[in-house]
């Protein structure tokens, strides 16, 4: 193994351990023995003369110097992969691993079907899906592509718009028959409110009206930690909940939920597919982005 190849190998081991936050996890990912992984990290730290990882009995944490080196290592490995794929030809079948992230419910409803389609099309590919209701840092968390809902302050990412959604309020027909339909945000005070804390613990709900923001404070009778839980409670007729329009779209189609206060809908927010900018972009990344962008743009629930 030449010194350059040896250095690339050590970088690859570091990235695997950093991503898995575990020597054993990094070893499994690379098909190496844990002692071999430990020796590789020790050799890299000795070569650089700096500590890259802090080891405890249960966890591995990247040091500040290690974080900077890890970011550079990911970029270098990605560029080498892109060079290999470019040399193999643009029509080469995508192969390797792709890490994808999206909000939990959006990922379940809209991204996961795309991932299944992608894996069916490209048998040599593997995908890791991180579904979390928080903004992820693609570079720091070793992610290749993500779906973001909302404005994008991070200009270092390449972004492709795929749709727009709104935050709206919903209730089941049975609830509305018993308690009546609210015609203004102020009337929510006399209704049972269901709050999904995964969205916000704030009791203040904001609406739009003729270019103005209308805010009301609600007192939830039920606070639930997931959007799925809030949807289920609303479908069962407990009360009114606030959701992103895509989260309720299928329940509206089946008549289980009814959108309310349509005259007070806030401005729509964008949905974007974001990825780290590569000079060429790997075949596996290009093929996934092409597929997921086409699927999301074609979905009426995201572009109505």
Angle at 215 between CA 214 and CA 217, to 5 degrees: 155
Count of domains observed in the chain: 3
Q: What is the mean pLDDT of residues 35-39?
A: 89
Judge if 185 and 241 occupy the same domain.
Answer: yes
Which token pair is 18?
């950093």
Q: In what order do the strands lie in the sheet with 125-131?
A: 125-131, 96-102, 145-149, 269-276, 157-165
- Tokens 């050799």 -> residue: 43
Containing domain of residue 258, as a range? 167-264
Judge if 232 and 252 occupy the same domain.
Answer: yes
% helix, strand, coil for the chain, step of 5: 45, 25, 30
Contacts of 223 (CB under 8 A, 6+ apart): 195, 197, 201
pLDDT at residue number 182: 95
pLDDT classification of 279: cutoffs 50, 70, 90: very low
Mean pLDDT for the chain?
Answer: 86
Q: What is the mean pLDDT of residues 148-152?
A: 86
Judge if 81 and 102 occupy the same domain.
Answer: no
pLDDT at residue number 154: 59
Judge if 13 and 150 occupy the same domain.
Answer: no
Which token pair is 4?
């350059």
| CA pair distance 164, 131, nearest whole angstrom | 20
pLDDT of 196 above 70: yes
Q: What is the pLDDT of residues 200-259, one digit of tens each?
A: 566 788 888 777 888 888 899 999 988 999 999 999 999 999 999 999 999 999 999 999
Final residue before a domain boundary, out of 45, 60, 87: 87
Is residue 264 helix, strand or coil?
helix
């Amino acid at each position: 193994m030449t010194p350059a190849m040896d250095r690339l190998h050590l970088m690859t081991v570091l990235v695997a351990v950093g991503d898995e936050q575990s020597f054993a996890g990094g070893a499994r990912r690379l098909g190496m023995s844990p002692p071999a992984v430990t020796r590789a990290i020790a050799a890299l730290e000795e070569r650089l003369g700096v500590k890259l990882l802090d080891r405890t009995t249960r966890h591995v944490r990247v040091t500040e110097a290690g974080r900077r080196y890890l970011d550079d290592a990911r970029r270098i490995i990605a560029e080498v992969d892109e060079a290999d794929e470019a040399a193999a030809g643009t029509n080469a079948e995508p192969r390797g691993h792709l890490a994808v992230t999206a909000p939990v419910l959006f990922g379940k409803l809209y991204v996961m079907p795309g991932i299944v389609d992608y894996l069916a099309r490209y048998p040599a590919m593997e995908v890791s899906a991180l579904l979390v209701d928080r903004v992820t840092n693609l570079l720091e968390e070793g992610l290749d592509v993500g779906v973001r809902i909302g404005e994008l302050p991070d200009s270092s990412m390449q972004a492709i718009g795929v749709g727009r959604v709104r935050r709206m309020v919903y209730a089941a027909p049975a609830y509305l028959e018993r308690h009546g339909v609210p015609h203004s945000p102020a009337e929510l005070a006399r209704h049972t409110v269901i709050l999904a804390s995964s969205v916000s613990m704030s009791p203040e709900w904001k609406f739009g009206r003729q270019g103005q923001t209308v805010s009301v404070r609600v007192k939830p009778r039920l606070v639930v930690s997931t959007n799925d839980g809030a949807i289920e409670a609303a479908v069962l007729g407990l009360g009114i909940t606030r959701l992103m329009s895509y989260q309720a779209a299928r329940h509206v189609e089946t008549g289980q939920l009814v959108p309310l206060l349509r005259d007070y809908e806030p401005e729509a927010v964008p949905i974007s597919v974001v990825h780290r900018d590569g000079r060429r972009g790997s075949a596996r990344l290009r093929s996934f982005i092409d597929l997921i962008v086409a699927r999301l743009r074609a979905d009426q629930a995201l572009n109505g």
